Amino acid sequence: MNKLLLSALLGLALSSNVMAGELVKMKGKTEGRVNHEFIYQDGCQTCHQGSGKKNTTDAACVECHGDINSIPVDESKLAIPEAHPHKSLHYNQGASCLACHAEHEKKAPVCTECHRTWFEEM
Amino acid sequence: MQGRRNFLKLSAGAAIGSLAATLPGTVQAKSCGEINWDESADVIVVGSGFAGLSAAVNAKRQGLGSVLVLEKMQVIGGNSAINGGWLAIPKNPIQLAQGVNDDSPEELVKDQIISGRGMQNEPALRQIANRSLDAYDLCIDTGVKFRDGFNIQVGGHNKARAIRTQHGTGGDITTKLYEAGVKEGVDHRLQHYIEDFIMDGQQIIGVKVRKNYRFPDLKTGTTIFIKANKAVVLANGGFARNMALREAVDPSLDPTLDCTNAMGATGEVTLTAMAYGALPVHMNLIQTGHWGSPDEGGFGWSNALLSIGWHQGVAISVLNGKRFMDERADRKTCSEAIMKNRNADGSPAYPVVFFNYNNYAKDDRVVRALRDEMAWKVDSLDEIAAKFDIPAAELKRSIKEYNKHVGERKDPLFNRKMDTAEELTGPFVVSRIWPKVHYCMGGLKTDLGARVIDGRSMAPIKNLYAIGEVTGGIHGEARLSSTSCLECLVMGIIVSETIKADLEGAV
Ligand SMILES: Cc1cc2nc3c(=O)[nH]c(=O)nc-3n(C[C@H](O)[C@H](O)[C@H](O)COP(=O)(O)OP(=O)(O)OC[C@H]3O[C@@H](n4cnc5c(N)ncnc54)[C@H](O)[C@@H]3O)c2cc1C
């Protein structure tokens, strides 16, 4: 994947108010993120290797976005500095992207199981 | 392939718990032909909390070969990752530096016998206490940071011996054990749900796993079979989140009680082990806290906030604006009184607890609670009545009467000790309360070496081990605070030694 294109897309996603990209209708009834539109145009293989019925794994996220450490988080929006979701005191590196992010629906991050007021559904 | 299909049928029957399929001597695996294993590991660890991560690192260090940690959730650490980070270690360096020189493992065991009320397993507690410095060393050498100079006496302990992690969470320990494991070659997998055991008579030889599983949907992922060459270590934690099981073993734990535990504490692996003959003990001994708030998840801030509320404030029923209990009574008494507050349809009518804001405005407990909106600053009794739908006149009458009792230092209604009570004038800090289920004392019976005991033969099930909250009978009636973390870390060390000894014995 083209690094330049990637940073342009990431820039876009971050400057809008929804971090992971707005959720919109993509294909038929399926919803997806605006910044992932090109994946839908390519068929869904980028995430669902082989078949749309197969669950995706972190590998697909990491391939484009890099690992958890290289993904910026807007720290000005955190309830408290310790609420940094990519530097969690509870999980740190031991969290799957899928614990907090979903492609086809809005999802509350795993942290909200306890810290209910710190994060919004994204 | 044919053989595997047949086998699958049989295995499903066994999972439902049909005893006939698991009688000693039934050689399930062999009677169905060869199993097509998808992969294998020398040691398979089920669960990635303190117990599982400690076992994994120590299995590596004992030279037991390849170690695979299977975790069903999308995050590492279970209850351990969200825990409060309290760890009881007699003779820890901070304690000694404080000049507390009269503590010992035996002193800790003494305290645990009192809270266990005769139901505890003394030799197991003694073994754990005796190895507590090993657990401390494990933390230090994997990079865990504890608070400088911090070592205090917590509830039920007769000595200051509880240290606390830097950020006040067990995550400070699990993340370090995990990183150490990665460095030392442990293979950790998320979203791997243990569905069933593969038994060869009275021996476990592998596990059936749902890979890429998405909690809690059992239709997600694909089934694979992983062979365990040397051992399977169950470290799957407690079952406090399994509402049906909870209620089955203790009918007083009705489903309106929330839970402090991580979502994955549902106990299916414990039940699977029982279906293969593992002996359950003390399943009905489940710890609840009467200090929960319905306005936050997990353990939260409520317990800390209520250490002001119970002493300096009141608990009021929203149904009639009246006090309804001695706010300083024990857990059980308070829980029972709180749970009587119900709407006509049986749903909880969460009581409110409040105290004066001004004296505690800067107190950390208040600042955090207000920030996270699990408590509110409310200026007057009228506003409290409006916000929480309490009959205003009755509320005002109750507080007037309470203030009079505070002045007299006497509580004719509930005989509460009034030495710390404050006259309530407002503005107030108000929170809502409802008990939460916290810890399962019961679980699988194990011997001192962490071998899982079969209830029919009272002998170990070969190659099957269990450590941590999944085990039962160790703490007895009630677990003492800060001792689970200790138990899990120590038993992770001990189980690796047992596996090694068992392998040597088998040669
Ligand atoms: C909020 C809270 C605060 C606490 N504070 C303290 C404290 O300060 N000090 C103290 O000593 N104790 C404390 N405790 C108790 C202590 O944290 C727990 O008893 C301890 O963490 C249990 O550790 P464990 O390794 O046995 O299980 P866990 O840490 O719960 O780990 C078990 C893991 O197994 C996984 N699992 C379950 N079933 C399956 C399956 N089918 N397939 C694959 N994986 C599975 C779970 O998802 C989980 O990740 C606290 C508990 C809670 C809930």
Taking 70 as the pLDDT cut, the residues of chain A under it are 1-20
Residue partners of A2: CB distance under 8 A and separation at least 6? none
Average model confidence (pLDDT) for chain B?
Answer: 94
- Residue range B212-256, pLDDT digits in tens: 999 999 999 999 999 999 999 999 999 999 999 999 999 999 889
Beta carbons of B213 and B192 less than 8 angstroms apart: yes
Residue partners of A3: CB distance under 8 A and separation at least 6? none
Across the interface, do B175 and A57 touch by the CB < 8 Å criterion?
A: no
DSSP-H helix ranges across B409-472:
none
Q: How far is the CA of B417 from the centre of ligand 1 (A)?
A: 36
Q: What pLDDT shows up at residue A98? A: 95
d(CA B184, CA B67) in angstroms, rounded, equals 10
Q: What pLDDT shows up at residue B33? A: 62
By Cβ distance, the residue of A96, A98, A113 closest to B298 is A113
Identify the weakest region by mean pLDDT among A96-100, B9-13, B115-119, B155-159: B9-13
Q: Does B356 touch chain A (CB under 8 A)?
A: no
- Residue range B250-289, pLDDT digits in tens: 999 988 999 999 999 999 999 999 999 999 999 999 999 9
Q: B291-434, which class in CATH? A: alpha beta
Please state the length of chain A: 122
Indicate if the alpha-carbon torsion angle B132, B135, B139, B141 is positive or negative: positive
Alpha-carbon Rg for chain A in angstroms: 15
d(CA B397, CA B406) in angstroms, rounded, equals 14
Question: Cα dist. B140→B135, B287, B443 in Å?
Answer: 9, 30, 30
For every residue of A23-74, DSSP letters joined together read: EEEEETTEEEEGGGHHHHHT-STTTSSS-TTSPP-HHHHHHHH--GGGS---
For every residue of B75-142, DSSP letters joined together read: BS-HHHHHS--EEE-TT-HHHHHTT--S--HHHHHHHHHHHHTT-S-HHHHHHHHHTHHHHHHHHHHH
Average pLDDT over residues B192-219: 97
Q: Does A92 touch chain B (CB under 8 A)?
A: yes
Q: What pLDDT shows up at residue B2? A: 34
Beta strands of B363-403 (E only): which ranges?
375-378
Q: Give the position of tokens 């919803």.
A: A31
Q: What pLDDT shows up at residue A54? A: 81
Q: Give the position of tokens 């107030």.
A: B428
Question: Cα dist. B493→B8, B57, B92, B146 in Å?
Answer: 35, 9, 18, 20
Backbone angles phi, psi at A34, to 5 degrees: -55, -40
- pTM of the predicted structure, to 2 decimals: 0.92
Please state the length of chain B: 507
Identify the weakest region by mean pLDDT among B24-33, B360-369, B402-411, B427-436: B24-33
Level-2 CATH architecture, domain B5-80+175-287+440-506: 3-Layer(bba) Sandwich (3.50)
- Strand pairing report for B222-234 and B460-466: parallel
Q: What pLDDT shows up at residue B507? A: 65
The domain spans of chain B are 5-80+175-287+440-506, 86-166, 291-434
Element (H, E) at B384: helix B381-388
Q: What pLDDT shows up at residue A33? A: 94
Closest CA–CA distance from residue A22 to any residue of chain B (Å): 23
3 state SS of B268 = helix
Beta carbons of B37 and B198 less than 8 angstroms apart: no
Which atom of ligand 1 sits closest to the CA of residue B164?
8
Task: Give residue B355's identity as a one-letter amino acid code.
Answer: F
Residue partners of B433: CB distance under 8 A and separation at least 6? B290, B291, B292, B293, B294, B302, B306, B315, B338, B350, B351, B352, B353
d(CA B452, CA B204) in angstroms, rounded, equals 11
Nearest to B134 by CA among B92, B165, B104, B171: B92
Q: How far is the CA of B488 from the centre of ligand 1 (A)?
A: 9
d(CA A20, CA B27) in angstroms, rounded, equals 52
Q: What pLDDT shows up at residue B19? A: 38
Beta carbons of B432 and B293 less than 8 angstroms apart: yes
- For residue B370, the chain A residues in CB contact (below 8 A) are none
B210 an active-site residue?
no
ipTM above 0.85, yes or no: yes
Q: Does B225 touch chain A (CB under 8 A)?
A: no
3 state SS of B263 = coil
- For residue B182, the chain A residues in CB contact (below 8 A) are 93
Average pLDDT over residues B403-422: 98
Q: Which residues pair with B197 in a beta bridge?
A: B207
- Residue range B315-340, pLDDT digits in tens: 999 999 999 999 999 988 999 999 99
